[in-house]
Structure 1
């Protein structure tokens, strides 16, 4: 029997196929979903270039849902972290599991795990302690804690670290010029997301954390993107180990996540940003059009596939007969800049099941 998440993807994916999600990728996503917990909240990570077809799946997990992760033995999730989350790590409001579809299908499901830290905290060092504890439990081994501290202590007033991703499940990052964001080193790295930086404060922040690459290119890219959106999250990759030949302190790649306050079509900033990415050669026009149509609500009445049996059964058995819906939003657009200056764009599409 197919899982509720797989049947939910039957409902969600038709509006993305074939431009954003190729048919063979849709089949792989549904196969992956069959082994995942019944958490109907997450997103799709879609590449926007002309020949970029890979799509990854994300699940957003709240503190009370740890048991759902423990029940799915096919999902490799650190048990120590799940045991400590409700107590020592109670200030972490959510975690994100990201499943990369470039992995061989015969390997265990080993997600990249992102810790969502308390938001808007300044000075940023106030959340450093819980971040370090969380990473300790996720990795289960020694790592360069002193490096992570820099990312927090270097934050100017009002700037904070929002998420930390333990990217140790990814491989191949020993090549700093690797073209794919999923290329990682033998011992992994941490993805550190920093919110509220502005273009004029970016070079100083990068120097304080030990960045040795050019800062003019990232600053110029950030200024261009800031002309379309107010908020940009800066994503940096921190090497976990001491040996520079295998894990540089900071990988020479930077991600810029662009966020606007509303949703299309009411918020015109998304369309303006995507139009510019099309001109920049980073986004296919057909992909732009599908992204702008993604926000909205899917119901049993407008769905393009049969509604998940699990949700129909719950609605039928409930005395109030609540309406089962999926809310869809455009979360953010990410532009990744390699040390060579090469750029890549991705879109992150949010979905969440709701009862009304």
Structure 2
């Protein structure tokens, strides 16, 4: 993690929060993909840190630090090849709200990446995960989740189920991919979302000018919560996609992003070579010809709509470790 320090501008992650993230990364099991969630507004400095794991072994390793029985139960269930969780969840994300608490007291939110073929199993899988984590199950959760599944437009799918362990409200976060811009409001109405739609309709129309596609994130419990996240994705990074500049210009104009954070965000993507004596290149398919590279990219930007609150914008800065054949690296990309 130290290798990315020169590229993390304090406008995006304050030195105080960065020191906590670096300390946490030393404790966590090794990961090849992670990143930061940075608020882009002028008065917002909160940062979240997330990591992605593809096996239960990493979660078991985590338990050497977090002696937390519910997480142990989840890891054991995920390891069982006969378990629906093993068959339906392809990987797990842990998201930490970085704050003033000590590292020992940080409780991660858990996000499960779903097999795209299992939409109808979501109510049962969600309740099983909640039981393993010793979390209450809202009385209307099953029927609300079923409604979300039944109303899903053709071509759309559920990408993640999130259990926000560090948050006070008892709800499940759903992340839906593949909904066309012009179908978002229809879907929300069909699942029982009740809120004023004028601002959201205008926002979606604006975002369609910049993003290639969006994911819809919302919370489900005894009701469909009014807070909506629109996660905006572009296929290319800013060097190859001028709409990033236009998108961020729009956010600055709407006072959802400061000019300083805009500049810092556009400067983030790139590659850094990792030079370490702790990893043997002979362990990888490229043998001693490989170069260990840490890639930095903008994953997406989320716009949060919540009735009676100002809009919010958050950037998700991703880091990914990969081995490359030297001749395949873009010229002058490594720095």
Q: Could you state the TM-score of these two structures normalised by the residue count of structure 2?
A: 0.85
The partner residue of 1:145 within 130, 142, 162 is 142
**Mapped partners of 2:19, 2:307: distance in 1:** 34
Q: Structure 1 residues 162 and 331, CA, compared in 2 at 3 Å: closer, same or farther?
A: same
**Mapped partners of 2:255, 2:248: distance in 1:** 10
CA RMSD across the alignment: 2.4
8 A contact 2:130–2:137 mirrored in 1:
no
The partner residue of 1:314 within 279, 285, 302 is 279
Counterpart in 1 of 2:259? 285
**Mapped partners of 1:140, 1:201: distance in 2:** 33
Q: Could you state the TM-score of these two structures normalised by the residue count of structure 1?
A: 0.80
Q: Structure 1 residues 139 and 114, CA, compared in 2 at 3 Å: closer, same or farther?
A: farther
Structure 1: runs of 5+ lacking an equivalent: 1-7, 172-184, 243-248, 301-306
Matched, 1:125 2:115: no
**Mapped partners of 1:116, 1:220: distance in 2:** 30
The partner residue of 1:56 within 19, 26, 48 is 48
Q: Which moved more, 1:65-74 or 1:269-278?
A: 65-74
**Mapped partners of 1:118, 1:42: distance in 2:** 20
**Mapped partners of 1:232, 1:107: distance in 2:** 35
Deviation at 1:250, TM superposition (A): 2.1
8 A contact 1:315–1:323 mirrored in 2:
no
1:3-29 alpha-carbon deviations (Å, 9 max, x no partner): xxxxx2x21132122221111121121
8 A contact 2:92–2:112 mirrored in 1:
yes
Q: Aligned residue pairs: how many? A: 314
Counterpart in 1 of 2:31? 39
Alignment of 1:230-249 (within 5 A): 230-239=212-221, 242=222, 249=223
Counterpart in 2 of 1:270? 244
Matched, 1:81 2:71: no
8 A contact 1:330–1:348 mirrored in 2:
yes
SS at match of 1:324: strand
8 A contact 2:162–2:172 mirrored in 1:
yes
1:240-285 alpha-carbon deviations (Å, 9 max, x no partner): xx5xxxxxx1222111100011112112222221111111111111
Counterpart in 1 of 2:109? 112
Counterpart in 2 of 1:204? 186
**Mapped partners of 1:271, 1:75: distance in 2:** 45
Matched, 1:24 2:16: yes
Structure 2: runs of 5+ lacking an equivalent: 325-335
